[in-house]
Amino acid sequence: MSGGVRGGEVTYDGRSLIINGERKVLFSGSIHYPRSPREMWPSLISKAKEGGLDVIQTYVFWNLHEPETGKYDFSGRRDLVRFIKEIQALGLYASIRIGPFIQSEWSYGGLPFWLHDVPGITFRCDNEPFKAFMQNFTTKIVNMMKSERLYASQGGPIILSQIENEYQMVENAFGERGPPYIKWAAEMAVGLQTGVPWVMCKQDDAPDPVINACNGRKCGETFKGPNSPNKPSIWTENWTSRYQAYGEDPIGRTADDIAFHVALWVARNGSFVNYYMYHGGTNFGREASAFVTASYYDDAPLDEYGMINQPKWGHLKELHAAIKLCSNTLLLGKAMTPLQLGPKQEAYLFAENSSEECASAFLVNKDKQNVDVVFQNSSYKLLANSISILPDCRNVIFNTAEVKTQTNTRTRIPIMYFNVSDQWEEFKEPIPNFEDTSLKSDTLLEHTDTTKDTSDYLWYSFSFQHEPSDTRAQLSVHSLGHVLHAFVNGVPVGSAHGSYKNTSFTLQTDFSLSNGINNVSLLSVMVGLPDSGAYLERKRYGPVAVSIQNKEGSMNFTNYKWGQKVGLLGENLQIYTDEGSKIIQWSKLSSLDISPPLTWYKTAFDATGEDEHVALNVNGMRKGEAWVNGQSFGRYWPSLRTPRGEPSQISYNIPRSFLKPTGNLLVLLEEEGGDPLSITLEKVVIDSVCGKARASPYRHYNGSREAKLVHLQCAPNGYITKILFASYGTPFGGCGRDGHAIGYCDSPNSKFAAEKACLGKRSCLIPASDQFFDGDPCPSKKKSLIVEAHCGPISIMG
DSSP state letter for 779: T
For position 632, what pLDDT does the model report? Answer: 98
- Angle, CA 274 vertex, CA 642 and CA 262 arms, to 5°: 90
Residue 298 maps to a domain: yes
**Claim to verify: residue 380 and residue 474 sit in the same structural domain:** no
User: Which CATH number does the domain housing residue 552 bear?
Assistant: 2.60.120.260
Q: Show the domain range for 38.
A: 10-332
Q: What is the DSSP string of 440-487?
A: EESSPPPHHHHHTTS-SEEEEEEEEEE--SS-EEEEEEEESSSEEEEE
Rounded to 5 degrees, φ, ψ at 39 are -65, -25
Residue 5 maps to a domain: no
Rounded to 5 degrees, φ, ψ at 235 are -110, 105
Q: How far apart are CA 765 and CA 788, in angstroms?
A: 12
**Claim to verify: residue 584 and residue 479 sit in the same structural domain:** no
The answer for residues whose C-beta is within 8 angstroms of residue 106's C-beta and 6 or more apart is 59, 61, 63, 283, 287, 288, 289, 531
pLDDT for residue 418 is more than 60: yes
- Angle, CA 236 vertex, CA 231 and CA 238 arms, to 5°: 130
pLDDT, tens only, 252-264 = 999 999 999 999 9
Residues 656-665: what's their mean pLDDT?
97
Cis peptide bond N-terminal to 277, omega within 30: yes
Among 332, 349, 364, give the residue marking a domain's end. 332
Average pLDDT, the chain: 95
Q: How far apart are CA 124 and CA 103, in angstroms?
A: 12
**Claim to verify: residue 198 and residue 347 sit in the same structural domain:** no
When pLDDT is cut at 50, 70 and 90, the band that residue 8 belongs to is confident
Domain count, the chain: 5
For position 705, what pLDDT does the model report? Answer: 45
pLDDT for residue 703 is more than 80: no
Check if the beta carbon of residue 561 is closer than 8 Å to that of residue 434: yes
For position 611, what pLDDT does the model report? Answer: 82
Q: Name the nearest CA neighbour of 205 among 227, 188, 189, 174.
A: 227
When pLDDT is cut at 50, 70 and 90, the band that residue 315 belongs to is very high
Question: Cα–Cα distances in Å, from 495 out to 203, 483, 508, 525?
Answer: 42, 7, 9, 11
User: DSSP 3-state assignment of 13?
Assistant: coil
* Of 798 and 57, the one with more pLDDT: 57
For position 355, what pLDDT does the model report? Answer: 82
For position 49, what pLDDT does the model report? Answer: 98
**Claim to verify: residue 653 and residue 702 sit in the same structural domain:** no
Question: Cα–Cα distances in Å, from 165 out to 56, 94, 200, 270, 542?
Answer: 18, 18, 6, 20, 28
pLDDT, tens only, 498-550 = 999 999 999 999 999 999 999 999 999 999 999 999 999 999 999 999 999 99
Q: How far apart are CA 543 and CA 445, in angstroms?
A: 8
Q: How far apart are CA 717 and CA 788, in angstroms?
A: 18
Residue 267 maps to a domain: yes
Residue 426 maps to a domain: no
Q: What's the burial of 342, exposed, middle or buried (CB within 10 Å: 0-12/13-18/19+)?
A: middle
Q: What is the DSSP string of 217-275?
A: S-HHHH----SSTTS-EEEEEEESS---BTTS------HHHHHHHHHHHHHTTEEEEEE
Rounded to 5 degrees, φ, ψ at 279 are -145, 120
Q: What's the burial of 311, exposed, middle or buried (CB within 10 Å: 0-12/13-18/19+)?
A: buried
Question: Cα–Cα distances in Å, from 480 out to 502, 598, 624?
Answer: 9, 22, 20
Q: Name the nearest CA neighbour of 95 among 164, 152, 167, 21.
A: 152
Among 332, 367, 395, give the residue marking a domain's end. 332
Sign of the dihedral defined by the CA atoms of residues 298, 299, 301, 307, in that order: positive
Residue 423 maps to a domain: no
Residues 368-395: what's their mean pLDDT?
97
Check if the beta carbon of residue 364 is closer than 8 Å to that of residue 345: yes
User: Which CATH number does the domain housing residue 742 bear?
Assistant: 2.60.120.740
When pLDDT is cut at 50, 70 and 90, the band that residue 717 belongs to is confident
Residues 264-272: what's their mean pLDDT?
98
607-611 LR contacts (CB < 8 Å, sep 24+): 607/656, 607/659, 607/660, 607/661, 607/662, 607/664, 608/415, 608/416, 608/683, 609/415, 609/683, 610/656, 611/656, 611/717
For position 701, what pLDDT does the model report? Answer: 39
Residue 428 maps to a domain: no
3-state secondary structure 661-690: CCCEEEEEEECCCCCHHHCEEEEEEEEEEE
For position 1, what pLDDT does the model report? Answer: 43
**Claim to verify: residue 275 and residue 349 sit in the same structural domain:** no
For position 716, what pLDDT does the model report? Answer: 85
**Claim to verify: residue 634 and residue 736 sit in the same structural domain:** no
Q: b or e along 775-791 (b: 16 or more beta carbons within 10 Å of the residue's beta carbon)?
A: ebbeeeeebbbbbbbbb
Residue 754 maps to a domain: yes
Q: How far apart are CA 247 and CA 793, in angstroms?
A: 37
pLDDT for residue 383 is more than 60: yes
Query: The pTM is what?
Result: 0.96
Residue 512 maps to a domain: yes
Q: How far apart are CA 476 and CA 507, in angstroms?
A: 6
**Claim to verify: residue 15 and residue 53 sit in the same structural domain:** yes
**Claim to verify: residue 26 and residue 163 sit in the same structural domain:** yes
Q: How far apart are CA 429 and CA 427, in angstroms?
A: 6
| Residues that are catalytic | 166, 237
pLDDT for residue 371 is more than 70: yes
pLDDT for residue 2 is more than 90: no
pLDDT for residue 5 is more than 80: no
pLDDT, tens only, 443-457 = 999 999 999 999 999
pLDDT, tens only, 479-505 = 999 999 999 999 999 999 999 999 999
**Claim to verify: residue 732 and residue 590 sit in the same structural domain:** no
pLDDT, tens only, 101-147 = 999 999 999 999 999 999 999 999 999 999 999 999 999 999 999 99
Beta bridge partners of 398: 389
Q: Name the nearest CA neighbour of 323 among 394, 238, 389, 257.
A: 389
pLDDT for residue 616 is more than 60: yes
- Angle, CA 24 vertex, CA 96 and CA 270 arms, to 5°: 80
651-654 and 709-713 strand pairing: unpaired
Q: How far apart are CA 274 and CA 240, in angstroms?
A: 10
**Claim to verify: residue 124 and residue 269 sit in the same structural domain:** yes
Beta bridge partners of 605: 664
DSSP state letter for 207: P
Among 658, 684, 710, give the residue marking a domain's end. 684
Residue type, 265: W
When pLDDT is cut at 50, 70 and 90, the band that residue 704 belongs to is very low
**Claim to verify: residue 723 and residue 776 sit in the same structural domain:** yes
**Claim to verify: residue 67 and residue 190 sit in the same structural domain:** yes
Question: Going along 123-179, which residue ranges are E strands?
Answer: 158-163
pLDDT for residue 700 is more than 50: no
